[in-house]
Homo-oligomer: A and B are copies of this chain.
């Protein structure tokens, strides 16, 4: 690393016991200082670490007086000699040495900052967002930004070696008619017309395949103007990739390789090969298309097992094609009435909407206690327990509702139990493909097929036969990668054949005009020799959060917006002059 020695000869994370007696110059921020009367110790911090400075009243009183006056976050430069510490600190790499300071220059002063620059800071999130430049001084935040940079570096190394070309696609694109979530940008040269910011470079990367670029990637800024529930940001970053002349397996192998490469580089971990979980199994066993498999606890369907009792609730569910199913809360048989009530409230919460929660306790003394023991005798309850491999000490929790709701509620209950019971080892990783997703899904109102991802997903070749007779049965060649219960990438093999594309548009019920308006220039491009192609996009922010830690993706984005889409530091969005509106031909409503 180049460095002139005018400001510093070393940085604050660099000096070791082997450097003793060296004359050095360091710069950095005053992190902490301790005045012990005869001696003053200052911890000086930069991006690279912390080094202890020593000022001695006996040998240089004036300098020591000056050091005593240093405030927190002053920027200083010191010249001095490296010495061995008598009182070593094994927690930091520079903990065996200190600098006996000969010269102290204050490069800048600081007012008292509004919170402490430490990992365990006293600043709340709003304050830290307002002073993000100070928040980013905290070692934890700097480390996260560096992990982010190193992950992206590893991604590029891998993709470059695999012949991918990094290509920038434009940020000012065409607004799509369904683009209610597009950010729009008024044009000054053509007043009354608007660009849109891309929700993703999907169409542009497909055009790059049409252009023969063969293998493309980009760390792409994407924009979506929606409510930011669920830890979303109006702008976010994707690792966006596309390949020509590939099948699903080729894409999976390529990017499984990439994820493994990144784990090796960042965490020095060798990941095992990733399993491939069919979408329908994910839903059936875990109630979600992105299950967390760091713990087991599968959903078990019970309609058959519970048939034939007098229990009206179950009988009604069965006769209305609903689903009775449960999970085994391993080792939870001693949950109190209050704890079970809490779980019941959890499944009944409005966003879940289950009618209630049924339990069966397999007590440690061999007895069984259940909220349905009026309708099922002990033998029957034992039989049900066997379906869950229930042992003494276990608690089975059962939901009976419409199929989708039963699965979804149990999927969430599964996660809730894992949290309560600490089933998740923070050092474990659960990474696998979810494959064989449906190509279409039924419209909530009409039941007619609408596309599940986008209308360029290719159907699975084995399911072409159902395209006319039973489109909802057709699997797409689309796939997600799930990491610790988060979808971190999503992709598909695309349709490249005009006839097939027309068929899909027909199933979706698109008119010619609608087709032209929504997908005109891509459909046009496909006339001129589109190669077979497919790809995917990683949600970079989420992946970094999983690797680098943090409560939300805001913790790994240098300058994030809050949940209302505001940047509290810059105070954006803000007002603009009428004149500025006028030149782009708009006015406020």
- Which A residues have a C-beta under 8 Å from some C-beta of B? 1-4, 6-8, 11, 27, 29, 45-48, 73-75, 107-111, 113, 131-137, 142, 145-146, 148-149, 152-153, 156, 160-163, 165-175, 177, 179-180, 182-197, 204, 207-208, 210-214, 221, 223, 225, 227, 234-235, 237, 245-247, 249-250, 253-254, 257, 496-498, 521, 525, 527-532, 557-561, 564-567, 569-577, 579-589
Residues of B close to A153: CB separation below 8 A: 156, 160, 166
Residues of B close to A175: CB separation below 8 A: 572-574, 576, 580
**CB-nearest residue of chain B relative to A109?**
B529
Give the interface centre of A47, A111, A583 by most chain B CB atoms within 10 Å. A47
Structural contact, A167 and B149, CB atoms closer than 8 A: yes
Structural contact, A528 and B567, CB atoms closer than 8 A: no
Across the interface, A136 reaches (CB within 8 A) one of B162, B189, B212, B529, namely B212
Residues of B close to A6: CB separation below 8 A: 247, 250
Given contacts A134-B528, A528-B110, A583-B180, contact A146 B168 (CB under 8 A): no
Residues of B close to A221: CB separation below 8 A: 168, 171, 221
Secondary structure call for the A interface: loop
A190 to B184, CA, bound (A): 14
A458 CB, nearest partner CB in chain B, Å = 13
Offer 24 A-B interface pairs, CB within 8 angstroms, sorted by A.
Answer: A1-B161, A2-B250, A4-B249, A4-B253, A6-B250, A45-B212, A47-B213, A108-B532, A111-B528, A133-B207, A142-B213, A145-B165, A171-B221, A172-B183, A175-B576, A183-B186, A189-B225, A189-B227, A194-B574, A194-B575, A204-B559, A521-B571, A585-B588, A586-B589
Residues of B close to A133: CB separation below 8 A: 207-208, 210-211, 525, 528
A7 CB, nearest partner CB in chain B, Å = 4
**CB-nearest residue of chain B relative to A112?**
B528
Given contacts A133-B210, A559-B170, contact A7 B532 (CB under 8 A): yes
**CB-nearest residue of chain B relative to A574?**
B174
> Given A174-B567, A187-B573, list of 17 further CB < 8 A pairs?
A1-B163, A7-B245, A109-B529, A133-B525, A136-B212, A136-B213, A145-B165, A153-B166, A170-B567, A171-B221, A175-B573, A187-B225, A190-B564, A192-B588, A196-B572, A586-B588, A587-B589
Residues of B close to A208: CB separation below 8 A: 133, 136, 558
A573 to B173, CA, bound (A): 7
Residues of B close to A3: CB separation below 8 A: 250
**CB-nearest residue of chain B relative to A113?**
B528
Structural contact, B567 and A173, CB atoms closer than 8 A: yes
A313 to B460, CA, bound (A): 84
Residues of B close to A73: CB separation below 8 A: 528-529
Give the interface centre of A4, A179, A247, A574 by most chain B CB atoms within 10 Å. A574
A496 to B182, CA, bound (A): 39
Top 4 closest A-B pairs, CB basis?
A136-B211, A110-B529, A174-B572, A7-B245
Residues of B close to A227: CB separation below 8 A: 189
A196 to B208, CA, bound (A): 29
A570 to B195, CA, bound (A): 10
Residues of B close to A174: CB separation below 8 A: 567, 570-574
A414 CB, nearest partner CB in chain B, Å = 33
Residues of B close to A254: CB separation below 8 A: 2
A23 to B455, CA, bound (A): 37
Residues of B close to A528: CB separation below 8 A: 73, 110-111, 113, 131, 133-134
A261 CB, nearest partner CB in chain B, Å = 12
Structural contact, B167 and A245, CB atoms closer than 8 A: no
A471 CB, nearest partner CB in chain B, Å = 24
Structural contact, B8 and A245, CB atoms closer than 8 A: yes
Structural contact, A572 and B108, CB atoms closer than 8 A: no
**CB-nearest residue of chain B relative to A522?**
B133
Given contacts A27-B245, A146-B165, contact A173 B572 (CB under 8 A): yes
A217 CB, nearest partner CB in chain B, Å = 9
Across the interface, A211 reaches (CB within 8 A) one of B137, B168, B498, namely B137
